[in-house]
Amino acid sequence: MSLDEYRKREFKQVGQRVRRPDGVDKVTGRAMYGADATAPGMLVGRILRSPHAHARIRGIDTSAAEALKGVKAVLTGADLPAQEDDFIRDVQDNCMARDKALYDGHAVAAVAAVDAATARAALKLIKVDYEVLPHVTDVDVAIKPGAPVVQKGRSLENVPAGMSENVTSHCEFGHGDPAAGFARADHVVERHFRTAATHQGYIEPHAALASVTSDGKAELWCCTQGQFFVRTLCAAIMGMEASQLRVTASEIGGGFGGKTTVFIEPVALALSRKAGRPVKIVMTRDEVFRATGPTVHTSTDVKIGMTKDGRITAAEAHLRYSGGAFPCGTVDMGAQAAFAAYDLEHVRTYGWNVLTNRPKEAAYRAPGAPQSIYAVESVVDELCQHFGLDPIDVRLKNAARKGTKSSYGPTFPDIGLIATLEAAKKHPHYSAPLQPGQGRGISCGFWFNFGGNSCVSLNINTDGTVGVTEGNPDIGGSRASISLMAAEELGIEYDRVRTIVADTSSLGYNDVTDGSRVTFAVGLATIKAAREAVRVMCGRAAKIWGIDAEAVEWKDGAAVPAGPNAGKFPPMSLAEIAAVSFETGGPIAGHHEVNVDGAGVSFGVHIVDVEVDKETGQTTVLRYTVFQDAGKAVHPSYVEGQMQGGAVQGIGWALNEEYIYGADGRLQNPGFLDYRVPVASDLPMIDTVILEIPNPGHPYGVRGVGETGIVPPLAAISNAVSRSAGIRLSELPMSPPRVLKALGG
């Protein structure tokens, strides 16, 4: 058995609801976020953005801005290098337009000045000569031949001939023969759905402080989900060697996928290089909405056939996603996730990515899955209503389980869907009586979860404490989880361990904090680093005792002789071994570097009760319960927090949040007043039930938990609305005007 694999064990530290190590800093205002840092001689950077959805840039005259007193540098796309690689070029072009502005809010120039007022004045002096071009902001319009073309020459070879040049890629997943399956169904439902683009809505706007010195070295402080990936992107854009650019991740004020790439970081670096001084750029909220990653907006057709006893005979989905003005692979994940919860003989999903004049999509919690699963779970629910079947029973009857060939290819190992559905079915919420006018909905949700590159150093200090150095920004308590796993493996108390997040010069490469990977993958690397330190400590004890290293084992935080033949020595604790380490061979550390495989998929089921006000069209969420498989909940409070936070973001998506574009192609609601995220008074408590079906690919059974929670609310609420108000909506959000319209008001 590989050491990666799960082994049943009793936990002493893991599973405890400990205090997070960054808690005091964060409740006292001491924690340093992106905008909180300063540097000597720092300049203020500001960015000029296109007011047009689509325009050729014929020229930019920066002379008046450059002449303004206090302006130290002006930057345009012409200052950045030509890039060979498509991916890097898209990232760079999104940070600073080259020859075309591709969406309202696209950066076209930047300045660095002695203060904000001067920088703002300088932006007004920059003259951009635009040739306004026809634009397209809707996926269903952009996909048609004859639509304005956002970028030419970006279609992959697998796009069928005859489609608009805006279609950049096509994907297809599935198995069996759907036509044969539909023929066996007692009823087939086919529906069309649309979902609006939403924004991650992190409360902290992007911020970066860059300092490039004349010897070619650079320091970058920024709020990011992945400082190593920021280094990769910025080094490529700046033409720098990775070793010369040190990126430090600040505390991060929310990300949800939206801080997995760069927007202002290369601009701040380029301005700093030009000005010869540190430059800080902090986005306004308006800039965050107009120029950072919203989700894809989507148009979907789903067709499902069912027998009258509730068995699905075939399923098919056609997904059209738009990730804005640049090619985007999110539709592939949507197509793979769509039917993941079902054990199907005949299933097929087809996906197309379509360019529109909107900001470049960035990942948002389970990217691509909420949209496709919303459509699928709505149709499944309609079939349940048609046959008068219980929605959980139907899902149990068709649920993916161990050995199921998934709709996207792999065969599932141990998964927790059936246990999760059964927990939902027997929960008091599911059988609680409803008042007239109230409706209850359920939906399944799914996310793959990622593993990825992870690198951990674990130092045994001479006083018996332990320092863990990892490379993933802590967004929701991961330092506590990593410390818990280190303490568990070493057999010491949690408060003896302190975990810190390293900059890019202090540790090997770590993938971005995404895909719900950190507690799983960095946790695995931490456990293995601890095992390496244990091996060294056993060797030191063996040396002291004068026996073979193989004759020593680690038990309850101490080295002990492995058996009666090894000799009779009292246990030697971690602290005792550490205290004499300088005499036994020097400092003790363990480290581990790995590209982790074996992330376990996570399923969730949500139950929601709603009431629709038929006069106003407002939907009130009355009661909400989340059931989710965590594999093993390392810190249960923060697992619950992920489940609750994901559910509430999904509630916002279902009911209110949307990017609204005018006929002029401009974003109409770039602020929290008009882009309405859920507030405290909108919501009930979000009850949670954690299931623990161990992931066979992690020593403690851990699965990622961060993303699945945003998936089910979209359909669960739509299904509840259909039972409350007798109307089935097929477009999100179900905002009051849309509900009123469906009610015939």
Partner 1 sequence: MKSIPVSTTINGDACEFLCAPDETLLDALRNRLGLTGAKEGCGTGDCGACSVTLNGRLVCSCLVLGVEAEGAEITTIEGMADGDELHPLQRHFIDHAALQCGVCTPGILVAAKALLEKNPEPSDEEVRYWLAGNLCRCTGYDKIIRAVQAAAAEMRGA
Segment near partner 1 (CB under 8 A); pick from 48-56, 407-415, 500-508, 630-638: 630-638
Residue 343 or 687: the one with the smaller Cβ distance to partner 1 is 687
C-alpha separations of 283 from 35, 204, 208, 261, 488 in Å: 9, 9, 9, 15, 41
The site string for partner 1 over 162-191 (x = CB under 8 A, - otherwise) reads ------------------------------
Task: Report the alpha-carbon distance of residue 168 to residue 151 in Å, rounded.
Answer: 10
The site string for partner 1 over 685-704 (x = CB under 8 A, - otherwise) reads xx------------------
C-alpha separations of 561 from 58, 460, 511, 555, 726 in Å: 78, 21, 39, 10, 71
Residue 171 or 207: the one with the smaller Cβ distance to partner 1 is 207
Segment near partner 1 (CB under 8 A); pick from 51-59, 246-254, 369-377, 434-442: 246-254
Tell me the three state secondary structure of residue 728: coil
Shortest CB 283 distance to partner 1, Å:
10
637, 669, 696, 727: which one contacts partner 1 (CB under 8 A)?
637
Residue 136 or 484: the one with the smaller Cβ distance to partner 1 is 484
- 707 near partner 1, judged by CB under 8 A: no
15, 70, 176, 254: which one contacts partner 1 (CB under 8 A)?
254
Shortest CB 482 distance to partner 1, Å:
15
Tell me the three state secondary structure of residue 414: coil
- 28 near partner 1, judged by CB under 8 A: yes
Shortest CB 281 distance to partner 1, Å:
13
**Look-up of token digits 């951009």:** 128
Residue 118 or 406: the one with the smaller Cβ distance to partner 1 is 118
Tell me the three state secondary structure of residue 646: helix
Residue 201 or 391: the one with the smaller Cβ distance to partner 1 is 201
Residue 94 or 225: the one with the smaller Cβ distance to partner 1 is 225
Tell how many helices (H) and how many strands (E) occur in the chain.
Answer: 21, 27
- Contact (Cβ atoms closer than 8 angstroms) between residue 357 and residue 102: yes
* Residue 432: count of CB within 10 angstroms of its CB: 12
* DSSP E strand stretches across 463-583: 466-470, 497-501, 552-555, 558-561, 572-573
Q: Give the number of residues in contact with partner 1, rule: CB under 8 A.
A: 58
Residue 117 or 180: the one with the smaller Cβ distance to partner 1 is 117
* Region of residue 546 (left: phi > 0; alpha: psi -120 to 50; beta: else): left
C-alpha separations of 699 from 6, 124, 447, 702 in Å: 4, 58, 21, 8
What angle, rounded to 10 degrees, do the helices at 265-275 and 227-238 form? 50
- 69 near partner 1, judged by CB under 8 A: no
Task: Report the alpha-carbon distance of residue 427 to residue 413 in Å, rounded.
Answer: 26
- Parallel, antiparallel or unpaired: strands 279-282 and 167-175: unpaired
688, two tokens: 């949670």
The site string for partner 1 over 269-308 (x = CB under 8 A, - otherwise) reads -------------x-xx-----------------------
178, 181, 201, 305: which one contacts partner 1 (CB under 8 A)?
201
- 30 near partner 1, judged by CB under 8 A: yes
The site string for partner 1 over 461-500 (x = CB under 8 A, - otherwise) reads --------------xxx-----------------------
Shortest CB 633 distance to partner 1, Å:
12
- Contact (Cβ atoms closer than 8 angstroms) between residue 288 and residue 35: no
* Binding stretches for partner 1 (CB under 8 A): 17, 19-20, 22-24, 26-33, 35-36, 117, 200-205, 251-256, 282, 284-285, 475-477, 635, 637-638, 640-641, 644-649, 671-673, 677-683, 685-686
